[in-house]
Amino acid sequence: MARMTTASEYALKRSKRKQFFKNYGMVLLFLGPFLFFFGLFCIFPLFYGIVMSLMKYSISDPTQNAWRGLANFWKILADSNSVYNSDFWYSMKNTVLFALILVPLAVIVPLIAAILVNSEPRGYKIFRALIYFPAILPVSASGVIFIALFGTNFGYVNQWIGETVAWLDKTTSAWFVIILLCLWGGWGGNFIILSAGLKNVDKSLYEAASVDGCSRWRRAFAVTLPAIKPQLIVCLFTTIIGYFGLYGQVYVLTNGGPANPDRIPGSTATIMWYLQSLMNSDQYDVYGMVSAMGLTLGFIIGCITGLQLFLTRERKSGTKLAKEFAAYRKDKERETLIGTEPAEAGSAEEGGGGGA
Amino acid sequence: MKRGKLLRNAICMGLAAAFAAGVAAGCAGGPGTVQDDLKFDEFGDPVFENVELKVWSVVGDPDDTYLDKVNNMFNDYYRENGLQAKITPIVNGDFYKQVANTINADPRNAPDVIILHSERLSKLAQDNVIVPLDEYFDAAKADFDAENYLSNVIGECYYKDKLYGVPLDVHAGVWYVRSDILEKNGLEKPSTLTEFVDVCNSLIKKYKEGTLWHRAMDKTNEAACEWTQNKTYGDDYFPVVMSKDGGIEQGWIPQTAVFQNGGKLTDNKGYPAWNTEGLKNVMQMFRNWQTGEGDFKGKAYEGKFVSGKDDTNTVWSKLASGEAVFSCEGPWWIEQRLNEYESILGEKTDEKGETYAPLDILNMSKLYALDESAECAGQIYGVGHCFSVCRTVTSKTKRVAAALYAQYMTEHAVDYMQGGHLPACKAILSSEQYKAKPFYNRYLKEFGDPENFVMLGNTPHYSAVYEGLKNIYSDVFNPNFASRTVEQIVETRYNNALSYIRAEEAL
């Protein structure tokens, strides 16, 4: 026989339910749609990807799917006889080298431009617009512009220099063009972030530095850079993550080429290009391996950004101590102020009266 | 505290649900069973009630128009029987990926029939994308007989002794030849490798001497279409367009070179077998054509045959400008190009008032055979299209309909051949209707005997075998690899192909 619910139990349950909706109703209303789509398009694919990475996964025939445990990860990380291992690390090496060259450039060049534009020379608004302009172009469009510039037979650059340089057919020059495109197309974003940071630097700091006899360079290093440190960290963070996913520029300009005599991925194959080429191949059962590679890449990027956050964290010996000291001094001054308040008030009144 | 716990629980439950859904989705799926809904009328013929076949085709512009003609004939013939078919060309380069994806992820919108390249059939059969057809021909009580098709072509439609496809055609890349320039200079269209080399040497020699007659095909520039002996193209003349990234010729020339020198592309396991001495020798010859060094049968070259700066853009442009006499492309362009050249240059006369046929084609028979008297010297690497039925067709009636469709289309494809293909069906090959067609006499009969065409072989490792060989051709012409010997290039690509196959098998 089912247990009877007492009136008080019912009332308690009902009030709990009411209380829950009262507490979380608005939160669910506003966050609910976001959470739903976040779950659908981020969390679910992430777990789906994790499951796929542990399997041999075929997109054409589910009967071929088979549990592989950590075998895919083992191949990527330790099995040097597998081409998946060698091609993955070859593409990763290309990506890391590219990031090592481009990331400093992609932060320093916009920083210099931002400092120059921030000094508001004549026509600085035009410069600002021109610098940001490439950022609004899609990669395919800017890629076409660069192909028109660096094409071997009909490229403008070759016409200007009067030579027939096969820019995109040689490894070094192909990387040069890719880096140039990334820099040109990507500096607008960092420029805007850094410009906003520069606008917010307290002018009195510059005045104080000038009074102390700082040169322009000294002011830039001792005032400007520390003041925009949070923006620099954001730029560094987003640039590293962004360029570890380099794909569009490579696809448009070289499609991974020029050819590599020893392996299928070409000389400018980045890790994203390699993953994409695996997925575009006619090998339908490689998706488990690709998922494992994607997760490995995610882990590596996570480690790099973690390391970066660790290295750029606010140290206790840095401004934190200074701020604590400033707060301590402020408290002290307030205490002193409270202790001497009547006398000061009296003297102020006297002074005011005298002035009047 | 309690609220926090509640939220934490909710998040954990959400993540667990997502994980479970991920596992379920990852492990879900499976081929459906075939529903036996086939009915027959009083004459023993299968009954179709409003069966509409969805056909995806890899055949694109310009020959899809001709395929549609045959499809319309089928629709007219079967309209009364309640059977129709609609072809959708999928020619964006993603055909095979799109088929596999749709079949697995969106079976309701998947095609019933696909028209594919027959060299890829083994791979699709292995991946369970397509199904065997034999039993559906039997079920339809159709008079289908594999003997009615060329054995070399239908042989590629078998996988593990079962017929997975019905072949439509066979074709190969051809050399487009500026026959007017050859004729005006007193030269003949070559038919063997020795003749080809001799013609190229003569063209270069004449150009260097300033006696080479040449003209452009340019409808925007009337003057350029007049005959001249000026050195219009600079100091060097390159009679042949071959490039490291030309595309289409890589898919036929090295393959044909393997066959014509006694080799084969695949072994019994479907692994690559093209690393032959014959291939290496021909590739070395190509490299010499680019450098102008070395000799051919003891005779030095007059100069470089190939410029080293050619790419996809120059394949047609150099032929049109008269800067080259030989350029390799797909056979499906033949009609358009002949029309174009003939309309612009056909009526143009020289100083003697004579006209010249501006364009001709040359098939690859004997063009890469170092021993032209060998039996295999006339072989040409061929590829074909075939019809297959997808596994997502779960109705037996529809599978039978699809099998009948494939049979009809391949047996009545005369009009489709206008697009530059040779029929796989023997009945068409020997029919008067086919031989009476203007396009047969105009260009198809120049394509060679389809029985001499040799296919890739039944291999599920299509990419490793085929692309590996294409890469060798590119590498030989690539100036970045000039320091590598041809032997090194071939062996590296061969070992690469084996490594990729082993990695695939070990997944």
Average pLDDT score, chain A = 87
Answer yes or no: do A62 and B104 touch at CB < 8 A: yes
Size of interface A-B (CB pairs under 8 A): 128
| Alpha carbons B49 and B398: distance in angstroms, whole number | 10
Residue B106 with chain A: CB contacts under 8 Å: none
CATH of the domain at B27: 3.40.190.10
| Alpha carbons B387 and B402: distance in angstroms, whole number | 9
Q: Are residues B419 and B486 in the same domain?
A: no
Q: Give the tens place of pLDDT for each residue, B316-375.
A: 999 999 999 999 999 989 999 999 999 999 999 999 999 999 999 999 999 999 999 999
* Distance of residue B121 Cα from the nearest chain A Cα, in angstroms: 12
* Distance of residue B73 Cα from the nearest chain A Cα, in angstroms: 33
pLDDT at residue B15, as a whole number: 65
Answer yes or no: do B463 and A282 touch at CB < 8 A: yes
Range of the domain at B190: 174-381+461-506
Q: How far is CA B448 from CA A315, A356, B329, B426, in A?
A: 79, 117, 16, 15
Residue B3 with chain A: CB contacts under 8 Å: 23
- What mean pLDDT comes out for the span B218-235? 91
Q: Are residues B78 and B11 in the same domain?
A: yes
- What mean pLDDT comes out for the span B63-76? 94
Residue B130 with chain A: CB contacts under 8 Å: none
Q: Are residues B275 and B289 in the same domain?
A: yes
- What mean pLDDT comes out for the span B426-431? 95
For an interface test with B, give the residue of A68, A90, A264 to mutate (most B CBs within 10 A): A264
From B30, B496, B500, residue closest to A63, measured CB to CB: B30
List the single range of A3-12, B153-162, B190-199 with lowest mean pLDDT.
A3-12
pLDDT at residue B387, as a whole number: 98
Output phi, psi for B384, to 5 deg. -140, 170
ipTM reported for the complex surpasses 0.85: no
* Distance of residue B210 Cα from the nearest chain A Cα, in angstroms: 26
Q: Give the tens place of pLDDT for each residue, A197-242.
A: 999 898 888 888 888 888 888 888 888 889 999 899 999 989 999 9
Q: Are residues B155 and B241 in the same domain?
A: no
Helix, strand, coil: what percent of chain A each, to 5? Answer: 75, 0, 20
Per-residue pLDDT at A349 exceeds 60: no
* Class of domain A71-75+94-311 as given by CATH: mainly alpha
Answer yes or no: do B503 and A84 touch at CB < 8 A: yes
Q: Of B419, B434, B454, which one is at a domain's C-terminal end?
A: B454
Q: Are residues B321 and B389 in the same domain?
A: no
Q: Are residues B435 and B484 in the same domain?
A: no
* Distance of residue B492 Cα from the nearest chain A Cα, in angstroms: 6
Report the b/e string of A121-160 with b at 16+ CB within 10 A: eeeeeeebeebeebbeeebeebbeebbebbbeeebeebee
Q: Are residues B92 and B107 in the same domain?
A: yes
**3-class SS letters over B92-104:** CCCHHHHHHHHHH
| Alpha carbons B158 and B136: distance in angstroms, whole number | 15
Q: Give the tens place of pLDDT for each residue, B373-396.
A: 999 999 999 999 999 999 999 999
Answer yes or no: do B499 and A64 touch at CB < 8 A: no
Peptide bond before residue B438 is cis, with ω within 30 degrees of 0: no
Task: With beta carbons less than 8 A apart as the criterion, state whether B293 and B306 touch.
Answer: no
The pTM score is 0.83
Report the number of distinct structural domains present in chain B: 2
Q: Are residues B209 and B312 in the same domain?
A: yes
Closest CA in chain B for residue A67 = B27
From A60, A153, A289, residue closest to B127, measured CB to CB: A60
| Alpha carbons A323 and A317: distance in angstroms, whole number | 11
Q: Are residues B136 and B263 in the same domain?
A: no
More confident residue, A21 or B272: B272
Q: Which two tokens stand for residue B486?
A: 């041809």
Answer yes or no: do B474 and A259 touch at CB < 8 A: yes
Strands (E), A32-165: 55-56, 66-67
**What single letter denotes the amino acid at residue A297?**
L
Answer yes or no: do B100 and A83 touch at CB < 8 A: no
Residue B244 with chain A: CB contacts under 8 Å: 259
Q: Are residues B407 and B333 in the same domain?
A: no
Answer yes or no: do B123 and A282 touch at CB < 8 A: yes
Residue A43 with chain B: CB contacts under 8 Å: 14-15, 18
From A49, A50, A261, residue closest to B489, measured CB to CB: A261
Strands (E), B44-160: 51-57, 83-89, 113-117, 130-131, 158-159
| Alpha carbons B112 and B55: distance in angstroms, whole number | 6
